[in-house]
Amino acid sequence: QCGDKNNGIIDTEVRLFITGPGGSVNAALNLANYITHSPLNITGIAVNNCSSASALVWLACGTREIFPYSRIMLHETTHMICEDVRYKADRLEEIVADLKRYNDSAYEIIAEAFGKTKEEIRELIGGKDYYIYADELERMGVATIVDTL
């Protein structure tokens, strides 16, 4: 029925299995926006390696589970050069500004999941690929290890 709390969705419990090497931070932030503002109760389940943009989507989930031998990888956002590499200064400034905003948004998602500040997350990641395994994530209170499906 139109206008009800969950927009006519019958089952509000969703299990989202996430794995992958990453990809577009823009797409990941779009999904994170949906997940965090959705009327659905979305449980993210990290399968195997859940890296970069995939990890951001997983961290945006209200409930996070992870398989025992899985891990996530976090890092600062990057810009892939897919266009003419002869940038003008104004275009470079735009790219840097976008990267800073994307990093800020990503750090906000990570900080909320980890119960830390954005500054603490910035120090934790510190310009490197930061891998965190399932047992560590469970000890940190970020996720629960899946023992059964």
Alpha-carbon distance 74 to 138, whole Å?
16
CB 103 within 8 Å of CB 77: yes
pLDDT at residue 3 greater than cutoff 60: no
For 19-48, how does the pLDDT look when each residue is reduced to its tens digit (9 = 90+)? 999 999 999 999 999 999 999 999 999 999
Alpha-carbon distance of 125 to 67, in angstroms, equals 23
Q: Per residue in 58-86, pLDDT tens?
A: 999 999 999 999 999 999 988 666 666 67
pLDDT for res 89? 82
Q: What pTM value is reported for the model?
A: 0.86
pLDDT digits (tens, 9 = 90+) for 83-130: 666 777 888 888 889 889 999 999 999 999 999 999 999 999 988 999
pLDDT confidence bin for 1, thresholds 50/70/90 = very low
